Chain A
Amino acid sequence: MLVAVFVAAGASLLGSFAILKRMALVGDALSHVALPGMALALIFKFDPFIGAIAFLLTAVTGIWVIEYRSSLSLETIVGVFFTASLAIGALIMPEHDLIEALFGNITELTLRESLASIALSIILIVSLLSIYKKLTLNMVSEEMAQSIGIKNRRLEFIYLLSFALGVALGIRFVGALLMGSLVIIPAASAKNISRSLHSFMSGSVVFGVIAAALGIYVSKTYSFPPGPIFILISSVIFLTTLFIRQAKKGL
């Protein structure tokens, strides 16, 4: 459960920036890229995390280069290539592992893996917090960011790298299909009820953590897979915040 909480905290923090940047769908599709990497890892018997992160790093580097070189819309490129990689992953993935890879299973982590996940999540959170001001400025106005000497390209690359790390961590928990939701839903919920950046970021993390803890608890008690449960709980939180937002508007 601790692992899930840390991973969810990191992922929701990532998500708050994905929402600010309005790249929610890009993030979702990006998480699919991990699948062929995991499949190769399973076939050649090395750690699926390594496979996932290798593919993700390649993909984010690709995104980063394409964003500045090509006139094609990023959404189009991501939509085509990354869903294709999901298809490839699904084909070459050993069948008995497929469901787990698609929908995740965090309960099977070894102690070493758990500790590594927690450590990496902490690194992710710390590095995001250390650049959040620059990142936010980059997202509200690239030009103003550049005008005060922020290196936008480098910053975006660091963000994409953290994104790759977050996805690789979360994929054990919720799987390749649902990973996008782990990142996006808590942040989207927090946005419904926040006016300030501070409450947005902390709200996102709090929602992610609550959904993760509750999700693991429920899935253990009733022996469901934790990923889908997590997503369902987050969705309930989202609907609740949406309701609160509408109610506030009505006043």
Chain B
Amino acid sequence: MKMLEVKNLNVELGGVKVLDDINFDVEKGEVLAIIGPNGAGKTILLKSLIGLIPFRGEVRWLKGVKTGYVPQRMDIETDVPLTVKEFFRLRGKLATDEKIKEALDFVQLDESILRAGLGEISIGQRQRVLVAWAVVGSPDVLLFDEPTADIDIAGQESIYKMLYHLQKNLGLTVILVSHDLNVVYRHTNTVLCLNRKNLCFGAPDKVLSTEQLLALYGGENAFFHHKHD
């Protein structure tokens, strides 16, 4: 069953074309990774999928699908006067104590984190809190924008583990932006290579040839040493 169909998606920001004729679709229960260099438009793509950014073309979700969105980063100060529990409560009546506890279990966080300030916890912990926050809304699809720069390798690995755990146990469809090709090979069904245009789309071991990666990242060295912002 197709969860999402995207046809001829075009996004312009301030007169500059940032996404050019993107086409792909996502099956129910699969994990799609969006990869590409910095400035490729990965976050923009994710945002336009859920209508955060105006676009031209077609984004067709399966009827009645609920999406949960986990942003790359939050623009908050470390001393923001908001506890994790209150942050959940901002969702409204949906966020009962029970639901929150359940969601925290899924992301493998201890309940004690509820008393901490949202700005105080580590970025890895906050990422889990954000995922749990999305899970409270019982989404069918989780859109996850990976925060690479701010998180160490071990932290990333455990977040991925958690995501696949979620996908297995809740039957979630996951669309994620990833910078880590290992992750893509190991955990995803489909990959979309993006550099303003659709460069490849399909199963990772089929479409991710060396030539394809060269085209995407502009040379082997550039790929191995490219920096995240």
Residues of A at the B interface (CB closer than 8 Å) are 20, 71, 133-134, 136-137, 140-141, 143-144, 146-148, 190-191, 194-200
**Structural contact, A196 and B83, CB atoms closer than 8 A:** yes
Closest B residue to A194 by CB, please name it.
B81
Residues in A whose Cβ lies below 8 Å from that of B82: 136, 140, 196-197, 200
Q: Choose among A140, A148, A198 the residue that contacts B118 (Cβ–Cβ < 8 A).
A: A140
State the main secondary structure of chain A at its contact with B: helix
**Structural contact, A148 and B81, CB atoms closer than 8 A:** no
**Structural contact, B81 and A200, CB atoms closer than 8 A:** yes
Residues in B whose Cβ lies below 8 Å from that of A199: 81
State the main secondary structure of chain B at its contact with A: loop
Q: How many residues of chain B get a CB closer than 8 Å to chain A's CBs?
A: 30
Q: A20-B81, A141-B76, A143-B69 are in contact. List 14 more A-B contacts (CB 8 A).
A: A20-B80, A133-B89, A134-B90, A137-B91, A140-B74, A140-B90, A147-B134, A148-B91, A194-B81, A195-B81, A196-B81, A196-B82, A197-B82, A200-B82
**Structural contact, A133 and B14, CB atoms closer than 8 A:** no
Q: Choose among B51, B83, B134 the residue that contacts A195 (Cβ–Cβ < 8 A).
A: B83
A136/B52 contact (C-beta < 8 A), A141-B71, A141-B74 known: no
Closest B residue to A136 by CB, please name it.
B90
B87 at the interface (CB under 8 A from A): yes
CA distance in complex: A140, B91 (Å): 13
**Structural contact, B52 and A198, CB atoms closer than 8 A:** no
**Structural contact, A148 and B137, CB atoms closer than 8 A:** yes
B110 at the interface (CB under 8 A from A): no
Residues in B whose Cβ lies below 8 Å from that of A143: 47, 52, 69, 71
**Least distance between A124 CB and chain B CB atoms (Å):** 21
**Least distance between B109 CB and chain A CB atoms (Å):** 18
